[in-house]
A and B are shown apart, each in its own frame.
Chain A
């Protein structure tokens, strides 16, 4: 039987007590799965990730992680706090928020240092990440000297350096060029192959099929409109359109204007080479 690592029941959260962000969300996340949370802007995806990372607590409902109820009381226990932080890592949407140290190297090792990881192990993790992400030249640079794509890679590296079992990612590919998007997808697939649970909030439908087993679609009412396997969700154009996730393309064929729905499925044919 699949091990459930996150169990959310009837989660409600609102900002300043009057701007609802989540309304009655029920969600189970299975260990080792690739889960994506999709929805238009302002549907509560980032709030959900922050709740999963125990940075904010829901005003109503229950969150269980690794079999234990998550609330402020739970985090008063230092041992559990350390355990939870070492198990769950969040890559923030705004990399500037996450990269607060003077150099890239210090940012990458910040997490493991706080968690008391042994220095030899930190060195090993740092070397491994530098190699796999190709960021050797960035190590001594200050985060403000990096491009958006470089910042995102370093932010992912700073989370992976904690070696968490669960990786939460908030819009990991937003605003990046195609090559960097590809690299980030490869990093996530690699992390998943190593047994990590990947939970991604995004509205970039192009990447979904590769990084999701299960997709949860959030609607304007700040709750889950539908959950299902990636292929089924991506094939449901009406659902995607109703939730502002697809749009109509218009383009010209000679003198005729042609309009159709944007298709995000990776429908392609492999040519046989002899």
Chain B
């Protein structure tokens, strides 16, 4: 039972990771956000993010969040998928900060709820509750904006946009290679897990399990080192000298979205 749960969780994590990295299904759709040129979109979303982190009023954050949900709908993104993709990150970012902030120990103020747990008396304050809601809404809206940008823009366009904003080419190239190889490593881990399962079955003593996991981590580390060396050799072989030169638009990379000039005309 527990093995089945772990297996489903692991495969779910791999599948989610691969999907997050590789899915361009929504970016290929014809929707509101897909229509906006990547550079303009990045600029708009950067301004929205600054606004969201600056706002101190929860009601305004509700409006921002509602706008995100509407943008998702008008961009052809399945609402269930969008909420799942967004809210899966919220506990990661906010759980350890928002929950303690509820209590009077960290946020003194007017009592909202009082309860006893293991002989200790806990008080949740109105001020703590408001602070926690503000924090969670801020995180939820920020994550929603990032997810929207990521889902509706092709990775190549996003990376190229970074370059336009003056981020050094070597950084953009390293980032794009990370993106490329995360997928490969997710696949390696998934295959390794299936390989282990095919040989040891499902019932495994936890100590043996720990041993296998430790060995796989070491193995993966070694493979990443090896891949690192091989990829560098492949780059050298094709004339790389430490200063990457990349494809410019003059060679015909086309965006599905209209160009800045076309946007102005439209």
| A interface list, Cβ under 8 A from B | 50, 53, 55, 78, 81-82, 85-86, 89-90, 92, 94, 96-98, 100-103, 105-106, 109-111, 113-116, 119, 122-123, 126, 140, 142-145, 158-159, 162
State in angstroms the CA–CA spacing of A56 and B24 once bound together. 39
Chain B hits for A123, CB < 8 A:
251-252
Q: Would A97 and B155 be within 8 Å (CB), given that A114-B244, A144-B184 are in contact?
A: no
Chain B hits for A105, CB < 8 A:
247, 251, 253
Interface residues on B, range: 20 to 34
Chain B hits for A162, CB < 8 A:
238-239
Q: How far is the CB of B162 from chain A (nearest CB, A)?
A: 12
Contact of A119 among B180, B181, B250, B253 (CB under 8 A): B250
Q: Which of A114, A115, A116 has the most CB of B within 10 A?
A: A114
Q: How far is the CB of B24 from chain A (nearest CB, A)?
A: 8
Q: Which of B236, B238, B246, B253 has the most CB of A within 10 A?
A: B238
| B interface list, Cβ under 8 A from A | 22, 24, 155-156, 159, 176-177, 179-181, 183-184, 227, 230-231, 233-241, 244-248, 250-253
Interface of A is mostly: helix
Question: Do B234 and A114 touch across chains, with their CB atoms under 8 A apart?
Answer: no
Contact of B236 among A55, A101, A126, A144 (CB under 8 A): A55
Chain A hits for B244, CB < 8 A:
114
Question: Do A101 and B238 touch across chains, with their CB atoms under 8 A apart?
Answer: no
Q: How far is the CB of A81 from chain B (nearest CB, A)?
A: 7
State in angstroms the CA–CA spacing of A97 and B184 once bound together. 10
Question: Do B247 and A89 touch across chains, with their CB atoms under 8 A apart?
Answer: no
Question: Do B237 and A90 touch across chains, with their CB atoms under 8 A apart?
Answer: yes
Chain B hits for A115, CB < 8 A:
238-239
Question: Do A50 and B235 touch across chains, with their CB atoms under 8 A apart?
Answer: no
Question: Do B239 and A119 touch across chains, with their CB atoms under 8 A apart?
Answer: no
State in angstroms the CA–CA spacing of A126 and B227 once bound together. 27
Chain B hits for A55, CB < 8 A:
233, 236-237
Chain A hits for B252, CB < 8 A:
123
Q: Would A119 and B251 be within 8 Å (CB), given that A100-B231, A101-B180, A102-B176 are in contact?
A: yes
